[in-house]
Amino acid sequence: MLELGSLKMKSVLNKILKKKNKSKIICLTAYSKNIAQIIDKHCDIVLVGDSLGSVLYNYKSTKKVTLDIMIEHSKSVRMGIKKSLMVVDMPYNTYRNSSEGLKNAKKIMRITKCDAVKLEGGTKIFNTVKTLIKNKIPVMGHLGVLPQSAKNFKSKGKKKSEKKKILKEAKLLEQAGVFSIVLECVETQLAKNITREIKIPTIGIGASLYCDGQVLVTDDLIGLNQIKVRFVKKYENITKKIRSAIINFKNEVKKKKFPQKKHSY
């Protein structure tokens, strides 16, 4: 299917492709080595998402995330991954045409040692995706709500015209050679239809349990990022635990209980 750069990468990718209609694919985001090390054992895919723009840098949109920012975080994440497929988002305005996309994708792959890149869009990126695949760069697609270009973050696929367009673009991306497609905030029945009609895996975020896998921003699900959106379930309140640790540290310092002799040289 794809001529990949390494046998290990090909093996990991093939395992993901074989999960189609059999077992769910687990995907989470990481922006640093520390988080990557924790989630790697439990994920099939680790995504260095340009969502780091809002999560870490407080940007109002992902458009301000630069190639250099993505590369630096990806270098850190790479050090924490041993088994998962590492995918890096290509940021806004880095793949406006095939030549620009290829140049920047090669740079990302070379410097970060990632396994694949992710691009948003359908028809507009068809030729770029084909060019990347031809140059042995695995690509993950992304349809539905497209954060890099969205004017609003309303769910997609409720209108008949949207349903037709998104389904058509999913098939187009499959034809171009992507190994999977993220469906963001896509209406349930449409997500189900796409998953049924294409042979590659779909990864949902706010797109129902009918997708072949699910992705969430790790900071959201552990409660570190206090975002409130419909598709996020908070599995832990890590903010509360961090606050407790900080208060304990402060109190021990003030009461001269820390550092003890065993913490000193």
For the chain, domain boundaries: 7-237
The per-residue pLDDT for 4 is 45
This prediction has a pTM of 0.95
184, 187, 236, 252: which one is catalytic? 184
The per-residue pLDDT for 72 is 98
The per-residue pLDDT for 1 is 37
Domain 7-237 has CATH 3.20.20.60: yes
pLDDT (tens, 9 = 90+) of the chain, 265 residues, equals 344 456 778 889 999 999 999 999 999 999 999 999 999 999 999 999 999 999 999 999 999 999 999 999 999 999 999 999 999 999 999 999 999 999 999 999 999 999 999 999 999 999 999 999 999 999 999 999 999 999 888 999 999 999 999 999 999 999 999 999 999 999 999 999 999 999 999 999 999 999 999 999 999 999 999 888 899 999 999 999 999 999 999 999 999 999 999 999 9
Q: Can you list the pairs that 9-14 forms with residues at least 24 positions away whose Cβ atoms lie under 8 Å?
A: 9/85, 9/115, 9/138, 12/83, 12/84, 12/85, 12/115, 13/85, 13/115, 13/116, 13/138, 13/179
Q: Judge whether 184 counts as a catalytic residue.
A: yes
| Cα separation, 76 vs 88, whole angstroms | 12
The per-residue pLDDT for 3 is 42
* 3-state SS string for 189-215: HHHHHHHHHCCCCEEEECCCCCCCEEE
Tell the residue number behind the tokens 């905030």, with chain if given. 185
| Cα separation, 229 vs 101, whole angstroms | 31
Burial of 99 (0-12, 13-18, 19+ CB in 10 A): exposed
